[in-house]
Amino acid sequence: MISDLTRLLSSLPPATLPPGRTVEPEDGGPPPYWLSDASADPGLWARMRSRHPESGLWPLLLSGLSSDERRPWVAGEVSPADMSSPERHDVAELLARWWAGCTTADEDETSAARAPFGRNWPGLARPGDLAEPPDVLADECVEFLVDGRTRLGLVPAARSADTLAVVGWSSPTNHTGDAGEISAVLRSWEDRFGVRVVGVGFATLNLSVAAPPTSTGHALAVAAEHFAFCPDNVWQGAGSLTAYADQLLGMHSWSFWWD
């Protein structure tokens, strides 16, 4: 049986792609992504992104673990069969559950970090205002992520948010082992903030953002979502939601790292 990935790749015009291969998961199953043999070219990423409506293949910049660049992408250290479908999840409920999990540590330390919010989940942030078309901004962000080691990946996905669930990315396992949950949040961010998934590492995620918060109050609401989504951005980064929110003001790229 021909996989969706193989079928979509075969429909591309000849000589569209550089040398590369499809990658099978370590635990077996059809390959969920194609990976270039050499480092990615920003121009090629943009061309493949522009073809996405017809090709059904979303491009990603894929990077490996610094101590072992084969992990996870070259080695196929992914588990697509273990991931749920993003549409199964209510994003507000999901973030509220993660928020609760992030606020059960030492109360003095936690309350200071999450101020001005309390234990109760503050709710979803309102949508942002688009500064420019999301796909165009994604092309611009790629220029800053290519570092000579990032490879081009192609994933059969209808939207960029779904790519993590499709490939079975499992590296944020200390926070959630289900990339379907991650993709569900990313779908919501695509709709509200013009987000596009651009780069994925071993346990890192880079997004372009066409509608970032531009006011302090809005940035705080977005920061609360980020804290629930990836608490290490605050705990091991800015230290508090207020400091982190300042970093989000007008920023057209968001990055996340899970310990």
Which pLDDT tens digit goes with each residue over 157-184?
999 999 999 999 987 877 888 999 999 9
* Partners of 254 in the β-ladder: 207
Which alpha helices (DSSP H) does 29-90 contain, by range? Answer: 42-55
Which residue has better confidence, 37 or 3?
37
Mean pLDDT of the chain: 92
- What pTM value is reported for the model? 0.94
Residue 239 pLDDT > 60:
yes
C-alpha 45/C-alpha 187 separation (Å) is 21
Which pLDDT tens digit goes with each residue over 79-104?
999 999 999 999 999 999 999 888 66
Which alpha helices (DSSP H) does the chain contain, by range? Answer: 4-10, 42-55, 91-102, 107-114, 134-145, 163-167, 179-193, 216-229, 232-233, 241-248
* Distinct helix (H) and strand (E) counts, the chain: 10, 7
DSSP 88: G
C-alpha 239/C-alpha 241 separation (Å) is 7
Residue 42 pLDDT > 80:
yes
Residue 106 pLDDT > 90:
no
Under a CB-based contact definition with an 8 Å cutoff, are residues 207 and 220 in contact? Answer: no
